[in-house]
Structure 1
Amino acid sequence: MKLRLQRLYSEPQFFEPIAFQSGINLILGEKSETAQTQAKKVNGVGKSMSVEFIHFALLRDFKDTRVSKIPTEKCPDDLTIILDLSIGKDSLQIRRSLQHPEQPTIIRNGQSVTFATLAEATRFLGDLLFVGEKSGFSSFRSLISLLMRDEESEFSDILRTMPVKKNAPPDRLPHLYLLGLDVVHYRGLLQTIKEIDRQTKLVSKIKSDLTRGNEINLKDIPAELNAEKTQVARIEAGLADLRAEPAFTEVEKDLNEIEAKLGALRATRKGVNFKIDQIRALPQPEAIDEVDLEIVFERARAGLGKLVQKSLEQARAFKEEIESFQRSLLNDELTILERQQRELNLKIRSLSQQHSEIVSRIDRKGTLRELSSGLKMAVHQQQNYHRRAALFQEYKDADQQKEDLQGERRQAIDHLRKELSENAAVEETMNNQVAAIHDRIMGNSDASFTLTVNTKTTVKQPLNLDLRILDDGSHSIDRTKVFIYDCALMFAECTQGRHPGFLLHDNIFDVDQDTLVQCLNYLQEQDDSGEDFQYILTLNREKIEVEERAKLIQLDVQDHCRASFTKANPFLGFRYQETRKASH
C-alpha cells in the first residue's frame, strides 16, 4: 500500500503547518536576511525537529523522540500533534497529545478510534499498510524506521536505521519484506539461533557443575556414577542387615521416642537462650541525673509558686521508684528465663543419660554405632549419587536439545539458501538498479548488491545484504551508498509492489557538491519520468546556492520547498535547551 503524508500541524498551533505533496518535498534551513553573524547560521533552526514531530505522529515511542525533551513550560498543556495522511485509499488523521502519548486517536475515513495502548495503534496502522500481504511482516514502526532513517544513525550502513549509540543489531526483516523474501521463516531462524545460544549457556553451566569446574573429565562421569550406584546399593543392603539385629529391634521404639523428646527440648532451650541473650544485651535504663532533677524542680516551683507543694526529696523518691520499677521488670523476666533454662538443662541431661544407658546395654558389638554412622553415610552417598545422576541426565537432555536445535538451524539455513536461489532474479534486479543509480550519480557502474548466507554456527544474523561501491568506507561515500540503496528499494521493479513509495532523509547529504547535485538531479528525473513516490529531504540551502545560481540543479528548489526555517524564524518559533530526560 502506498503511504503519503499530507499535512503536519498541531492544536493549539505550536508551529506553522507543513503541507506535503507527491514527488520531492524540501524542508530547508536558510540564512536570515539580517547582518548579524548568528543569523547566517543554518544549523539548529528546526529541520530535524520537524522530522521528530513526524516520527512522533507516526507513533515512535515517546521517550525515543526529541519531542519528549522539549521543556514542559514551553508547550501548551493540551498540545496535540496532528498528521493527515493516506494509506492506499484510506484517508487518515493521527492525533497524539503530549499529555497522553500512549493513547493516540486515529480517524479513518471519518471514523474515530482512541487506542488504549501505542501497540494497538501501531498494529492498526500495520494492518492497513500490509493488507493483503502474505509475507507475515506486520511491524509498522520497523518499516517506518527504514523509510525514515534516524539522523543519528549517521547513514553509516544500509542496514542500520537507528542511532549509532543504540547498541542493537540492525533489523533485517523490513529489508526482507521489501525484497519479497520469506519474513516468517527468517524470523523463525533468528528465534532458533537465540534458543541455541541459551541452550549452549545452559549446557556449559551444567557441565561446569558436573565436572567441578572442569576438574573432572566429562567422559569419566558415567563410570563414576556406576561406581557410586554400586556403593549406595551395598550400604543400603548392610543397613538393612543391621536393622534386623534383635538388640536394635527391642529398643528402636524407646530410642526414637527419647530422641524426639531431646530434639524438642533442645529447640525450646535454644529459644530461651536467645531471649536471655537479648535481655543481657539491652542497655541499662537511663537514670535521671540529680543535678538535672534539682534544676527542673526549682524552675517548676519558681514558675508555679504555691501550686508546687512537693519537696525536692519527694521528687527524688519518686524518681528512684521509677528507676527501681524499670530494673525490676528486666530482672524479673531474666529470672524466669534463667529458671526455665535450668529446668530444660536438667530434663535434657536426664534424657541423654537414659539414651546412653539403653545404648550401652545393647551395643556390646557396636551395632548401634555402626548403624548411626552407616545411616549418615548412606544419606550422604544417596543424596550425592542421585544429585549427580539427575544432573548428568539433565546435561544429556540439554545437549540433545541443543543438537536438535542445531539441526533445525541447518534445515532453516538450507531453506534460506534455496529461497535465495529461487529468487535470484530479485538479487539481479536490485544489483542492476544499484549499478544504474551509481552510474547516474557517480559516472560509473562500479557498484554491486549481493545477498549471501553465512553458515558459521557462531553467526547471529546468517543473511548478509551487502552493497559495495567504489571507495566505500569513508563518511561521505557511505552516505551516498545509503542514498543509492534506499532509492533502489523504492524504484526497483522487484520491490515496487511492496514499497510504500515513501522515503525521508534527514540531513543525509554530507557529501561533496557534485554528488549532492547529481543525487538531486536523479530524483528530479524520477519525478519527471512519472514515478509515483513521495520523497522528503531536509537540507541546508547554502549547500546548493552556488549550483542553483549556475543552474546545475534541474530541481526547482523553491517550487519544492514545503518549509523554510532560519535562526530568526525557527520551526518552533523559539529557542530552548533540551532536557536530558523526557519532560512530559
Structure 2
Amino acid sequence: MILNKLYSEPLGLFETVKFINGVNFIFAKKDKNSDPGNSLNGVGKSLLLNFLDYALLSSKTKHIKSAMKNNEIGHYSIALEFTIQDSNYVIKRSLMESSKNIVVGKTNDPIYFESIKEAKEYLCDLIFKNEDYKGKYHNTWLRKLLPFFIKKQENPKTKVNFLDPIKFSISPEMELIPYHLFFLGIDNSLFWKNFDIKSDLKNKIEALKEIRSIITDTYNLHDIPQAENKIDRLKGEVQEHETNIEKFQLAKQYQDIEKESNNLTVIIKDLWYQNHLDLNKVKSYKESYELDDSLQTLKIKKLYTEANELLAGNIKKTLDDAVLFRKNIADSRKEFLSSEIKNIEIEIKKRKNKIDDFELERAKIFKFLETRDAIKDLSEAYLNLSKKREKLNDLEGKIKLYQDLNSEKAEREAEIAKLYSEITNFIQEIKNDISIFRKIFFEVHNAIYPENKDKSYGFTFEPKPRADSKVNMEVFLPADLSTGKNSAKTLIYDISVLFHAIERDINLPHFLIHDGIFDHMDKAHFIAVYEYLEKKARSETFQYILTVNEEGTLSDEFGNADKVNPQKIEQEAILTLTPSNRLLGSDWG
C-alpha cells in the first residue's frame, strides 16, 4: 500500500497533500508575520496525520474533536487515495457521520458501506491479507495493525509512543507478538493460540477470585474448604426440618381438610409445571422462525461482474431463485408454527384459569385452618425449611461453579505448559527467518549508527517461560546510547520491518509515519536516516512520513548540514505550516 494524496470533500478544509516516494516531510517553521515567542506546536502537523488515520477508519481523536468543536467543519469528508499492487483505491469518510455512508474501493468503482464494521473488514483484507500466509489472520484486525505503521503524538495514557517497538499499542504483549510475526510473514499460530488460552485463563482466575469473595463474605467463612462443613451442616438442618414436618399431625377433626389442601397443592404444582414446559416450547418455536438468513445477491453479483457480466447475472438469478424457494419454505414453516403456538397458548390459558380456581379454594382452606391456629406451627416449619433449602442450594451451586472453574483453570494451565514446549521447538525451526530479518536490521542500524558497529546491539527472539507471551522479543542497543535510546529502537525496528516486507513481497503498508520521533534524538542521526532512506528510494518504493519543527529538530549545528538544512527540507516538504499559515487557516485547538 502506497499513499497518493489526502484531501477534503468539498476541497478547502486544508491544502491537498500529495505523497511522494521516499522521505515525506511535514514541516513547521516560523515566518516573518509570526510572533517570535509563538510555539510551532498547534499549527496542524499532528492534526493532518489524525485526518489521514481517520480516513483509515480510526476513531475520532482529541485533535479532530477539538478541531470540530472550534471550527464549523462537520460538512466535510476526509478523502485518501492510495495504490495497492498497481490498482488505485479511494476512501471517503464524513466528519459528521463517522460510522456510516463510508466509501471504500477502486477509484473508478468504489463501494458504499452502510456499516463501518463491513468497511473495516473490506479495507483490512485490501491492506493486509496475504493469500499464502500460513498463520492466523482475521479481517477484524485493521485497527489493531495500523498503529504500527502510523505512530502519532497522542495522550500517553492511551498510546505508547516510541518507548518500546514491540509494545506499539496498549494491547498486551502476548497479543502483539502474533501481529509482529504476521508483519514478518512468520507463522503466528502457536502464539495466537497462547494468547487465546492465556486470556481465557486470566478470565477464569478473575472469576474464581470473585466467587471466592462472594462465598466467604456471604457465609462468613475464612476460606473455601470451610464451605464443605457449612454445606454438611445445612444438609443436617434441612433433614431435621423435614423429619419434624413428617411427624407433624393436625388435630383429628382437621385431617380431612389437611388431605384436601395437600391434594390441591399437588394439582396446582402439576399445572404450573405443564405451563412451564409449554412456555419454553412457544419460546423455542418463535426463535426458530425469527432467525434471519437473508442473502444479499446484489453484492455477490458485484463480486463476479468484473470477471464476467453474463456469469454475474446468471449467478444472481440462480441465487434469487434459491432465496425465493427458501423463503416459501420458511413461510410455510412459520404458518405451521404459528398455528401450534396458538393452540399451546390456549392450553396455557386454560391451565392458568384452573390454577386460579384451585388457589382460591386452597386459600379458603388455609384461612379456615388459620382461624383455629391449626396450621401455625406447620407454616413456620415449611418457611424455615424453605429458607434452609434456598441457602443450601445457593451455596452448593456456587461451590460447584467454583470447582468447575478450578478444573478448567488446571486444564488451561496444562495446555499452556504443553504449548510452551511446542513454541520452543518452533523458535528453533524459524531461526533462518529471524536471521533474514536480522540482516536487514543490522543494515539499518549501521547506516544510522555507524559509530556503534562494534558494540552490542541486535534483535532477540527466544523462549521465555515466565512471560505471558512465552517469548522474549526485544530490540537492544548499546548501554551508553542514552540520548533518544527508546526512539532509536523504534526507528531501527520499524524501518527494518518495512524493508523486510518489501524484500519478501509481503502485503503490508509500504509506508511509515513517525510523528515527532526525532524530538529527543541526536541531530546527526536525523541526517543519517535521511541519507539512508534517500539512497533506498532510488531502488525501492516506500514512504517515510515524519514531522519536523525548524526550531526543534534543525536549530543545532550537526553533521553534514549542507545535505539537510531548513531550506532544503522546506523545498522538499509535502506540506509546510507556519503560525500564520495553519492547517485549517486558524487556531483549531
Partner SS, residue 426 of structure 1? helix
Q: How far apart are the structure 2 equivalents of 1:32 and 1:354? A: 100
Equivalent residue for 1:146?
A: 148
Give the CA deviation at 1:228: 4.7
Partner SS, residue 355 of structure 1? coil
Give the CA deviation at 1:521: 2.0
- The answer to whether 1:518 aligns with 2:528 is yes
Give the CA deviation at 1:255: 9.0
- The answer to whether 1:120 aligns with 2:118 is yes
For 1:535, which of 523, 544, 556 is the aligned residue? 544
Q: How far apart are the structure 2 equivalents of 1:115 and 1:32? A: 43
1:360-509, aligned counterparts within 5 Å? 375-442=382-449, 443-445=451-453, 446-456=456-466, 460-471=468-479, 474=482, 476-492=484-500, 496-498=504-506, 499-509=508-518
Assess if the C-alpha contact under 8 Å between 1:490 and 1:496 holds in 2.
no
Assess if the C-alpha contact under 8 Å between 1:38 and 1:567 holds in 2.
no
Equivalent residue for 1:355?
A: 372
Assess if the C-alpha contact under 8 Å between 1:502 and 1:533 holds in 2.
yes
Give the CA deviation at 1:482: 0.9
Assess if the C-alpha contact under 8 Å between 2:45 and 2:583 holds in 1.
yes
Assess if the C-alpha contact under 8 Å between 2:77 and 2:94 holds in 1.
yes
Assess if the C-alpha contact under 8 Å between 2:55 and 2:92 holds in 1.
yes
Equivalent residue for 1:562?
A: 574
Equivalent residue for 2:136?
A: 136
Q: Residue type matched to 1:430 in 2?
A: F
Give the CA deviation at 1:193: 2.2
Q: Provide closer, same or farther for how the CA distance between residues 565 and 66 of structure 1 changes in structure 2, counting only shifts above 3 A.
A: same
Give the CA deviation at 1:105: 1.2
Q: Provide closer, same or farther for how the CA distance between residues 418 and 75 of structure 1 changes in structure 2, counting only shifts above 3 A.
A: farther
Equivalent residue for 1:363?
A: none
Partner SS, residue 574 of structure 2? strand
Q: Residue type matched to 1:252 in 2?
A: E
Equivalent residue for 2:15?
A: 16
Larger gyration radius, structure 1 or structure 2: 1
After TM superposition, the structure 1 stretch with the greater mean CA deviation from structure 2, 117-126 or 461-470, is 461-470
1:97-496, aligned counterparts within 5 Å? 97-102=94-99, 103-129=101-127, 130-134=129-133, 135-137=135-137, 138=139, 139-152=141-154, 153-161=160-168, 169=172, 172=176, 173-212=178-217, 215-222=221-228, 225-226=231-232, 228-229=234-235, 232-233=238-239, 235-237=241-243, 239-243=245-249, 249=255, 252=258, 355-356=372-373, 359=374, 375-442=382-449, 443-445=451-453, 446-456=456-466, 460-471=468-479, 474=482, 476-492=484-500, 496=504
Q: Residue type matched to 1:88 in 2?
A: Q
TM-score scaled by structure 1?
Answer: 0.69
Partner SS, residue 110 of structure 2? strand
Q: How far apart are the structure 1 equivalents of 2:426 and 2:25? A: 40
Q: Residue type matched to 1:570 in 2?
A: R
Partner SS, residue 60 of structure 1? coil
Q: How far apart are the structure 2 equivalents of 1:80 and 1:205? A: 47
Q: How far apart are the structure 2 equivalents of 1:224 and 1:68? A: 57
For 1:81, which of 66, 78, 82 is the aligned residue? 78
Structure 1: runs of 5 or more not aligned:
258-346, 360-367, 579-584
Partner SS, residue 14 of structure 1? coil
Q: Residue type matched to 1:136 in 2?
A: K
Equivalent residue for 1:93?
A: 90
Partner SS, residue 471 of structure 1? coil
Q: Provide closer, same or farther for how the CA distance between residues 387 and 8 of structure 1 changes in structure 2, counting only shifts above 3 A.
A: closer
Assess if the C-alpha contact under 8 Å between 2:527 and 2:560 holds in 1.
no
Partner SS, residue 452 of structure 2? coil
Q: How far apart are the structure 2 equivalents of 1:77 and 1:216? A: 59
What is the number of equivalent residue pairs in this alignment? 469
Q: Provide closer, same or farther for how the CA distance between residues 214 and 193 of structure 1 changes in structure 2, counting only shifts above 3 A.
A: farther
- The answer to whether 1:67 aligns with 2:64 is yes
Q: How far apart are the structure 2 equivalents of 1:42 and 1:524? A: 26
After TM superposition, the structure 1 stretch with the greater mean CA deviation from structure 2, 382-391 or 118-127, is 382-391
Q: Provide closer, same or farther for how the CA distance between residues 72 and 373 of structure 1 changes in structure 2, counting only shifts above 3 A.
A: closer
Q: Provide closer, same or farther for how the CA distance between residues 228 and 565 of structure 1 changes in structure 2, counting only shifts above 3 A.
A: closer
Q: How far apart are the structure 2 equivalents of 1:378 and 1:46? A: 73
Assess if the C-alpha contact under 8 Å between 1:472 and 1:478 holds in 2.
no
Q: Provide closer, same or farther for how the CA distance between residues 247 and 463 of structure 1 changes in structure 2, counting only shifts above 3 A.
A: farther
Give the CA deviation at 1:419: 2.6
Q: Residue type matched to 2:446 in 1?
A: D
After TM superposition, the structure 1 stretch with the greater mean CA deviation from structure 2, 491-500 or 63-72, is 491-500
Q: Provide closer, same or farther for how the CA distance between residues 527 and 249 of structure 1 changes in structure 2, counting only shifts above 3 A.
A: same
Q: Residue type matched to 1:67 in 2?
A: I
Percent identity between matched residues is: 22
Q: Provide closer, same or farther for how the CA distance between residues 5 and 120 of structure 1 changes in structure 2, counting only shifts above 3 A.
A: same
Assess if the C-alpha contact under 8 Å between 1:180 and 1:495 holds in 2.
no
Assess if the C-alpha contact under 8 Å between 1:55 and 1:65 holds in 2.
no
Assess if the C-alpha contact under 8 Å between 2:163 and 2:490 holds in 1.
yes
Give the CA deviation at 1:247: 7.2
Partner SS, residue 455 of structure 1? coil
Q: Provide closer, same or farther for how the CA distance between residues 78 and 251 of structure 1 changes in structure 2, counting only shifts above 3 A.
A: closer
Q: Deviations over 1:391-416 (max 9, x none)?
A: 33222222112222223333443333
Partner SS, residue 89 of structure 2? strand
After TM superposition, the structure 1 stretch with the greater mean CA deviation from structure 2, 478-487 or 552-561, is 552-561
Give the CA deviation at 1:8: 1.6
Q: How far apart are the structure 2 equivalents of 1:52 and 1:566? A: 18
Q: How far apart are the structure 1 equivalents of 2:397 and 2:70? A: 63
Partner SS, residue 482 of structure 1? helix
Give the CA deviation at 1:202: 2.4
Q: Deviations over 1:519-576 (max 9, x none)?
A: 2222223224x1332212221245347558743559964664222222232333x222
Assess if the C-alpha contact under 8 Å between 1:181 and 1:419 holds in 2.
no
